[in-house]
Amino acid sequence: MVAPRILVTGGAGYIGSHTAKLLRLEGIEPVVYDNLTTGNRSAVRWGPFVQGDILDGRRLIEVIEAHQPDAVIHFAASAYVGESVADPAKYYNNNVRGTLSLLDACRQTGVDKVIFSSSCATYGVPAVLPIDEATPQAPINPYGKTKLVAEHMLADYAAAFALNYVSLRYFNACGADPEGDLGEWHDPETHLIPRALMAAAGRIPHLEIFGEDYDTPDGTCVRDYIHVADLASAHVLAYRHLAKGGGNVALNLGTGRGFSIKEVLRTIGEITGHDVPVVFRRRRAGDPPALYADAGLACRTLGFLPRYSDLETIVRTAAPFFGLEVRS
Ligand SMILES: NC(=O)c1ccc[n+]([C@@H]2O[C@H](COP(=O)([O-])OP(=O)(O)OC[C@H]3O[C@@H](n4cnc5c(N)ncnc54)[C@H](O)[C@@H]3O)[C@@H](O)[C@H]2O)c1
Ligand SMILES: O=c1ccn([C@@H]2O[C@H](COP(=O)(O)OP(=O)(O)O[C@H]3O[C@H](CO)[C@@H](O)[C@H](O)[C@H]3O)[C@@H](O)[C@H]2O)c(=O)[nH]1
């Protein structure tokens, strides 16, 4: 039997590169399609690389015709909440227009399975926690709105054309490849855990904490931190679900536990032996106070069970990329 092949848009990025590695280990060839705006060429090591933009529909069709993938995993997007508030045009263009361009290329070439990177940012400020998939989706920032539009596009294309999909609503991706091959390499880096590790390592003078006056137990934002290796495994499971004729579905990918910024910093101090120097700033626009998942549906539908997503393992795997030793 010929090995399955998957087109991985955004496969040079953080979550995409970890997923490409796992696909290869699982006997599936990842063909990475990425414009390298935030991704790294050096992170593409487990299959062919094509440099291209999802907005370029003609090129997408050429690449799909050349490689004949069985499915697409669609990571490529602009993905910063704060930036999306300042520059919504960038987000509507890349995330909405880009996804439309990709879905049209799939339709024209007969690719009928799509796994999409959605986000808990589509829920906005939920009335009830934890967030299950029936929670109303009312995003409060342009980034979350573009992800919600893309989810709607998938559902409408699936209803009208021969398309099957899984939308995966990730909570906060973090950590690094447990074997040390890949990490989170963004420039500039904006995410909490890498910024905190940079501050602990003395690479930046301090971590800025955006808001200490939220209605949360210690006043800082609460998030559900899910290890990137667990996210990668969910994509393999989602592909297998579609390959065996499983139905269209949107699933939360989280742990079910929320941690405040201060709790994250405490774990970093314990594991690395370095305190994180902090300064407090005002709230960042577009941030909900608390987000954590009810992750039961992904478990029931895909058999998804996080293995690496405790804060200690997250910090242990990520810290070495910032030159920090971890305590045994
Ligand atoms: N990091 C998180 O916590 C998180 C949480 C929820 C959802 N997501 C979603 O997961 C996906 C991957 O996120 P990430 O953290 O790995 O981000 P990332 O920035 O590391 O990866 C995105 C990749 O897409 C590529 N890309 C962007 N626009 C493109 C375009 N027009 N054409 C081709 N390639 C393009 C980038 O070069 C990069 O390699 C995104 O869709 C993001 O919205 C991320
Ligand atoms: O230097 C920093 C960086 C972040 N934060 C705060 O830490 C929390 C987490 O922020 P960040 O790591 O930037 O993640 P999110 O803004 O939650 O967004 C990430 O997680 C979302 C799901 O929650 C994804 O959809 C996005 O793509 C991804 O960037 C937020 O309260 C931030 O305000 C700080 O206080 N200081």
Domain boundaries, the chain: 5-174+226-253, 192-223+256-322
Task: Go through the chain and tell me how many residues it has.
Answer: 328
pLDDT of 185 > 90? The answer is no
Tens of pLDDT along 20-60?
999 999 999 999 999 999 999 999 999 999 999 999 999 99
Looking at CATH, the fold of the domain delimited by 5-174+226-253 is given as Rossmann fold (3.40.50)
CATH of domain 192-223+256-322: 3.90.25.10
The SS3 call for residue 240 is: helix
Residues in contact with 12: Cβ distance below 8 Å, sequence separation at least 6, in sequence order = 32, 34, 36, 39, 40, 41, 43, 44, 49
Question: According to the model, what pLDDT value does residue 289 have?
Answer: 96
CA distance 119 to 179: 26
Q: How remote is the CA of residue 138 from the centroid of ligand 1, in Å?
A: 21
User: Residue 241: which pLDDT band, with cuts at 50, 70 and 90?
Assistant: very high
Q: Which of 14, 123, 143, 308 is catalytic?
A: 143
Radius of gyration from C-alpha coordinates of the chain? 19
Q: Which atom of ligand 1 is nearest to the CA of 120?
A: 6
Average pLDDT of the residues in 285-300: 95
* Atom 2, ligand 1: residue with shortest CA distance: 173
DSSP state of 172: E
Q: How remote is the CA of residue 253 from the centroid of ligand 1, in Å?
A: 16
Q: Among this protein's residues, is 239 annotated catalytic?
A: no
Q: Which atom of ligand 2 is nearest to the CA of 173?
A: 20
Tens of pLDDT along 74-116?
999 999 999 999 999 999 999 999 999 999 999 999 999 999 9
- Give the closest residue to 243 by CA, choosing from 99, 154, 116, 112: 112
User: Residue 328: which pLDDT band, with cuts at 50, 70 and 90?
Assistant: confident
Question: According to the model, what pLDDT value does residue 53 have?
Answer: 98
Task: Give backbone dihedrals phi and psi of 73, rounded to 5 degrees, phi first.
Answer: -110, 120
Average pLDDT of the residues in 9-23: 98
ipTM attached to this prediction: 0.98
- DSSP letters for 40-99: -GGG--SS-EEE--TT-HHHHHHHHHHH--SEEEE--S---HHHHHH-HHHHIIIIIIHH
CA distance 183 to 43: 9
Beta-strand (E) ranges in the chain?
5-9, 29-34, 49-51, 71-74, 113-119, 164-170, 172-174, 207-210, 222-223, 225-227, 249-253, 259-260, 278-281
Asked if 5-174+226-253 and 192-223+256-322 have one fold, the answer is: no
* Atom 29, ligand 1: residue with shortest CA distance: 76
Query: Rounded to 5 degrees, what angle do the CA atoms 14, 19, 22 make?
Result: 135
- For ligand 1, residues with CB inside 6 Å are 9-10, 12-16, 34-39, 53-55, 75-77, 79, 94, 98, 117, 119, 170, 172-173
Average pLDDT of the residues in 231-249: 98
Q: Which atom of ligand 1 is nearest to the CA of 118?
A: 7
